[in-house]
């Protein structure tokens, strides 16, 4: 145990030295202005995609030195953050370590929070694909088995985890406690869990064959998410580190993230929403069979971002119904030029160039310069940031992200 703690202490000291760089204050100012819709250079971020094969190869258990699984997770986090510091993008590394409160919810996963189980068929390849072997809602009568997820924190387990980390490194770095509810992010967008509950193909058929029942299911899920969040808010468990916009949750008139901020309301925070499963659904059906149920959840937040990997090119007008929408994703499958025409300067644009073109399939500087240059030309005059995400491989060249960031910054200097 002493061995594990010493490893963490060494890493925290390296981390503290890294984040003492004044560049992080400059980045905070950049994101505040960007999300406040003030003219800036486009911020640039490169996400490592914490679930992918590359990260498992570099930051997998076999490369960690801590033996205790609890300490090993914080070791992994610190090593990833130190790596990200070297990338040199506009990601902000914060001066704290966060302990997520232990939830009493008996089940996890996309459908477990609704009281059901799902059978998945895995490819058997590490990091490979899987499919739903049998969706939990085989008939509409199965809805009777569903339950709303309660917000209930296991205080004893949470206190034990906080105490362990505090004892190990609490004299070196602030320990933040995130007591936010389960139903946030992808669990609050309805779309993700819905596809697991019914199966994606069946969901598409339901819109034609069983619209009344589908509306009942959507209403049940909307109300369950709202109740879970209401319980957390009533308990005083939302804080500033619950903010999430799939970028840096700064700006727009909201408070900056800060550790152990004390109680905040959803109206003080950024909320993240998406609908990846609806990318092939028409704007009309997306609106009727999802967005109208997301809007009441979105409405409670101060500001919201919409979009992850789905194509929203034909749905910008639909998204504008949300009065607190501030940022919209334009993904590799989206049309940047057409999206820019519709978004204009009303929202921030989170442009996500294809990682295969950027860093995953060799490293071609001229190709990077051409694609980024064309994108910047199309987005002139807007509030754009560039987000390289879902990186599945760097083909063993881990320096590619740093080099990519330098190239993109030089193109911005030339074009913007």
Number of domains in the chain: 1
Q: What is the dihedral of CA 374, 377, 382, 387, to 10 degrees?
A: 30
Q: What is the pTM of this model?
A: 0.95
Closest of 100, 99, 68, 85 to residue 19, by C-alpha: 85
Q: Is the dihedral of CA 380, 382, 388, 389 positive or negative?
A: negative
Domain range holding 50? Answer: 2-415
Q: How many CB atoms lie within 10 A of CB 207?
A: 18
β-strands 303-306, 325-330 pairing? parallel
Q: Output the tens digit of pLDDT for each of the chain's 416 residues.
A: 699 999 999 999 999 999 999 999 999 999 999 999 999 999 999 986 555 666 777 788 888 999 999 999 999 999 999 999 999 999 999 999 999 999 987 667 788 999 998 888 888 776 677 788 889 999 999 999 999 999 999 999 999 999 999 999 999 999 999 999 999 999 999 999 999 999 999 999 999 999 999 999 999 999 999 999 999 999 999 999 999 999 999 999 999 999 999 999 999 999 999 999 999 999 999 999 999 999 999 999 999 999 999 999 999 999 999 999 999 999 999 999 999 999 999 999 999 999 999 999 999 999 999 999 999 999 999 999 999 999 888 988 989 999 999 999 999 999 99
Q: What CATH number does the domain containing 176 carry?
A: 3.20.20.210
């Amino acid at each position: 145990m002493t061995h594990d703690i010493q490893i963490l202490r060494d890493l925290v000291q390296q981390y503290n030295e890294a984040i003492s760089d004044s560049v992080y204050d400059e980045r905070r100012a950049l994101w505040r202005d960007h999300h406040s819709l003030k003219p800036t250079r486009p911020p640039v971020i490169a996400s490592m995609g914490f679930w992918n094969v590359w990260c498992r190869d570099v930051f997998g258990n076999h490369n960690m030195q801590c033996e205790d699984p609890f300490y090993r997770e914080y070791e992994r986090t610190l090593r990833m953050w130190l790596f990200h510091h070297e990338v040199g993008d506009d990601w902000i590394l914060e001066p704290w370590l966060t302990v997520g409160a232990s939830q009493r919810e008996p089940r996890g996963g996309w459908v477990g929070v609704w009281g059901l189980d799902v059978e998945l068929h895995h490819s058997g390849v590490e990091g490979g694909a899987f499919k739903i072997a049998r969706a939990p809602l085989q008939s509409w009568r199965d809805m009777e088995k569903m339950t709303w997820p309660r917000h209930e924190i296991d205080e004893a387990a949470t206190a034990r985890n906080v105490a362990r980390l505090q004892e190990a490194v609490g004299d070196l770095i602030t320990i933040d406690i995130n007591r936010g509810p389960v139903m946030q992010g992808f669990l609050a967008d309805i779309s993700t869990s819905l596809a697991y509950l019914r199966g994606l193909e069946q969901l598409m058929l339901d819109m034609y064959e069983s619209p009344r029942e589908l509306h009942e299911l959507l209403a049940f899920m909307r109300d369950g998410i709202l109740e879970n969040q209401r319980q957390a808010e009533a308990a005083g468990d939302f804080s500033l580190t619950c903010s999430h916009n799939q970028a840096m949750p700064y700006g727009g008139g909201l408070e900056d993230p800060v550790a152990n901020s004390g109680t905040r309301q959803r109206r003080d925070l950024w909320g993240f929403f998406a609908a990846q499963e609806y990318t092939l659904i028409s704007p009309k059906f997306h609106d009727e069979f999802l967005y109208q149920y997301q809007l009441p959840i979105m409405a409670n937040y101060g500001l919201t971002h919409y979009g992850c990997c789905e194509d929203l090119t034909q749905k910008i007008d639909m998204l504008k119904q949300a009065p607190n929408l501030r940022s919209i994703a334009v993904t590799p499958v989206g049309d940047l030029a057409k999206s820019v025409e519709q978004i204009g300067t009303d929202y921030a644009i989170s442009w996500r160039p294809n990682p295969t073109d950027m860093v995953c399939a060799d490293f071609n500087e001229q190709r990077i310069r051409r694609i980024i240059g064309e994108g910047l030309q199309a987005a002139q005059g807007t509030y754009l940031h560039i987000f390289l995400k879902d990186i599945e491989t760097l083909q063993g060249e881990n320096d590619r992200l740093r080099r990519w960031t330098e190239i993109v910054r030089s193109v911005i200097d030339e074009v913007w």
